[in-house]
Amino acid sequence: MISPTADVKIQKALTSRTQQVVVVLEDLYQHHNASSILRTCDAFGIQEIYVINNRNCFQFDPEKSRGMERYVRRHVFEGPNATQSCFLRLKQMGYLLAATSLRPGCVTVEELPIREKLALCFGTEEKGLSEEAHRLSDCFLRIPMYGMTQSFNVSVTVALSLQALSLATGPQGFSALPPEASEMLKLEWTTFKSHQDETLEMETLHDA
């Protein structure tokens, strides 16, 4: 069992959870970025992230992610054709692939078709998205910048993109999860939270 407070928190989070927007991460390797992105996705109600491990391995710091890895579902693609496999899978699911880029022809977040299914794609810390990712994307996305810096840290880029997209949707927000998916997620979260509370209680009694 979980406390009434925890139950209310879970119910509130579920009402804002969405699969309309997903985040794609290609070859991230810095733990603090991975941890920060997990927290950001949870904060904006993003339920699904797609992780591509070509050369690097996506790893997070459990202390810095603060348990959010339990609430954001990760789909991992590995191997020589990981980027292609991931991008084609998302296309088959009806997602528009928007690649963050510095190339000509970029649009801002506000110019995206916000009522469509969107996959926001972000690349490695050093060089951004690969040539393959650019080739398979439907459009290029940029965040307007006015200083000498050309790009943000990837975790900052994810946060700014999701914030801009959330503001652009207005009061209506993103499409909610289907009822059956929401119920399955509630059961999963409740089970985890119940186990977490039991573990904390046992540790407290042991310390006492």
**CA 90/CA 163 separation, integer angstroms:** 22
Which residues span the domain enclosing 81?
A: 18-175
Residues 171 and 200 in one domain: no
Q: Write down the pLDDT at residue 92.
A: 97
How far is residue 53 from each of residues 24, 39, 78, 137, measured CA to CA in Å?
11, 20, 5, 18
- Of 40-44, 99-103, 120-124, 171-175, which range is least confident? 171-175
Give residue-wise pLDDT tens across range 53-91: 998 888 877 666 667 778 899 999 998 899 999 999 999
Residues 160 and 199 in one domain: no
Q: How many domains does the chain have?
A: 2
Mean pLDDT across the stretch 129-141? Answer: 96
- Give the mean pLDDT of the chain: 86
Residues 65 and 29 in one domain: yes
Q: What is the CATH number of the domain that holds 52?
A: 3.40.1280.10
Residues 117 and 197 in one domain: no
Given a cut of 90, whether residue 132 has pLDDT beyond it is: yes
The amino acid present at 175, given as its one-letter code, is S
Neighbour count for residue 93 (Cβ, 10 Å): 11
Residues 47 and 139 in one domain: yes
Q: Write down the pLDDT at residue 57.
A: 81
Given a cut of 50, whether residue 41 has pLDDT beyond it is: yes
Residue 6 pLDDT level (bands cut at 50, 70, 90):
confident
First CA to last CA across the chain, in angstroms? Answer: 23
- Of 3-17, 63-77, 113-127, which range is least confident? 63-77
Does the pTM of the predicted model rise above 0.85?
Answer: yes
Question: Which of 141, 133, 134, 137 lies closest to 164 in space, CA to CA?
Answer: 141
Q: What are the percentages of helix, strand and coil residues in the chain, rounded to 5?
A: 50, 15, 35
Residues 114 and 196 in one domain: no
